[in-house]
Amino acid sequence: MLDSITGATAETALTDSDQSRAKLAEDLDNFLTLLVTQLKHQDPLDPMDANEFTSQLVEFAQVEQQIQQNANLEDILAAQQLNNLGTIVSYIGKYAEVVSTAMSVEDHAGKFSYTLFDDAISSQITIRDEAGNVVYHGQGETSAGTHYFEWDGADNLGNVYPDGVYTVTVSALDAGEDAVDVGYTTFGRVTGVRTDNGDAYLELNNGYFISIDGVLSVSEPPATPDTDAGATVEETEGDDA
């Protein structure tokens, strides 16, 4: 996996410089051909000004130097991406909590948290599949704070859905029936890593990639589920989860 990623990265990084260098060589060949032709047919009594084509040659040399500098920077970027990839590859197999509403379900188990930023009088948990169909809905917690929910992959009628990526939402209303702001995190096993333009991404449960900037914590995967599937677990400030 590392060879394929780094090989593709190196190939992409050199493309721009190689193309620029080839274009410069073509332009220089055309310029020299034109210059030789002009010298052959110049008026001996009114020869060409040497300063003009010398200045043009200097410009070609400056462009070539700039292209080489760009190539060096691209090599540094490729090396940095390789170093980043080598660092985050240690996350593979770990259990990550990420800022996202996309919940990975593996072995009919998915977990997410939702934080209510104010007390609510009602809240509704909704889980949708990748096509946007509702596969689960139920009542959520109403107290301000962070709450955890584990889903066993079954809908309200007991029908079990396949592993994959599902979207979670929590709709909460306060006493004035105004919407309460909600923050989300989801959990999953890191199954892959990649880099893109210097940015690092983790793949969760072979389902989707998320920027490492959105990773809140990485830990050893739990040996067993924390709670019974489909149950909610509260965690408010000062209380144990």
DSSP assignment string, the chain: -HHHHHHHHHHHHHHHHHHHHHHHHHHHHHHHHHHHHHHHTSBTTB---HHHHHHHHHHHHHHHHHHHHHHHHHHHHHHHHHHHHHHHGGGTT-EEEES-SEEEEBTTBEEEEEEESS--SEEEEEEE-TTS-EEEEEE---SSEEEEEEE-SB-TTSPBPPSEEEEEEEEEE-TTSPBPPEEEEEEEEEEEEEEETTEEEEEETTTEEEEGGGEEEEEPPPSS-SS-TT-EEEE-TTS--
Output the pLDDT for position 24. 63
Query: Does 240 map to a domain?
Result: no
Average pLDDT over residues 55-72: 68
For the entire predicted model, the pTM comes to 0.57
Q: What is the mean pLDDT of residues 14-42?
A: 66
- Rounding to the nearest 10 degrees, give the CA dihedral for residues 77, 79, 84, 85: 120
Does residue 104 belong to any structural domain of this protein? Answer: yes
Q: 70 and 99: one domain? A: no
Could you tell me if 75 and 146 lie in one domain?
no
Q: Which of 2, 16, 60 is nearest to 34 (CA)?
A: 60
Q: Are residues 39 and 103 in the same domain?
A: no
* Domain shared by 74 and 162, yes or no: no
Picking from 74, 91, 108, the residue at the C-terminal end of a domain is 91
Looking at per-residue pLDDT, the higher value among 196 and 18 belongs to 196
Which pLDDT tens digit goes with each residue over 198-228? 678 888 887 788 888 888 888 887 765 444 4
For residues 128 and 115, state if they share a domain. Answer: yes
- In the numeric block, which tokens belong to residue 132? 């946007």
Amino acid at 65: Q
* Residue range of the domain that includes 83: 2-91
Domain boundary among 26, 56, 91: 91
Q: Identify the pLDDT of residue 3.
A: 40
Q: Which CATH number belongs to the domain containing residue 197 in this structure?
A: 2.60.40.4070
* pLDDT greater than 50 at residue 236: no
- Could you tell me if 84 and 135 lie in one domain? no
Look at residue 55 in the predicted model and tell me its pLDDT. Answer: 73
Q: Quick one: 121 and 147 in the same domain?
A: yes
Asked if residue 53 and residue 109 are part of one domain, the reply reads no
Share of the chain above pLDDT 70, in %: 60
What was the pLDDT predicted at 53? 65
Whether the per-residue pLDDT at 8 is higher than 60: the answer is no
Provide mean pLDDT across the span 45-73.
Answer: 66
Q: Which of 34, 61, 91 is the last residue of a domain?
A: 91
User: CA–CA separation, 125 vs 151, rounded Å?
Assistant: 11
| Residue 61 confidence (pLDDT) above 90 | no
Q: Is residue 241 part of a domain?
A: no
Give the pair of three-digit tokens for residue 163: 């592993």
Q: Which of 36-45, 111-120, 124-133 has the lowest mean pLDDT?
A: 36-45
- Residue 235 forms beta bridges with which residues? 146
Report the distance separating Cα 111 and Cα 142, nearest Å.
19
Question: For residues 150 and 227, is the Cβ–Cβ distance under 8 A?
Answer: yes
- Please count the structural domains in the chain: 2
pLDDT at 48: 59
Does 87 share its domain with 108?
A: no
Q: Are residues 197 and 223 in the same domain?
A: yes
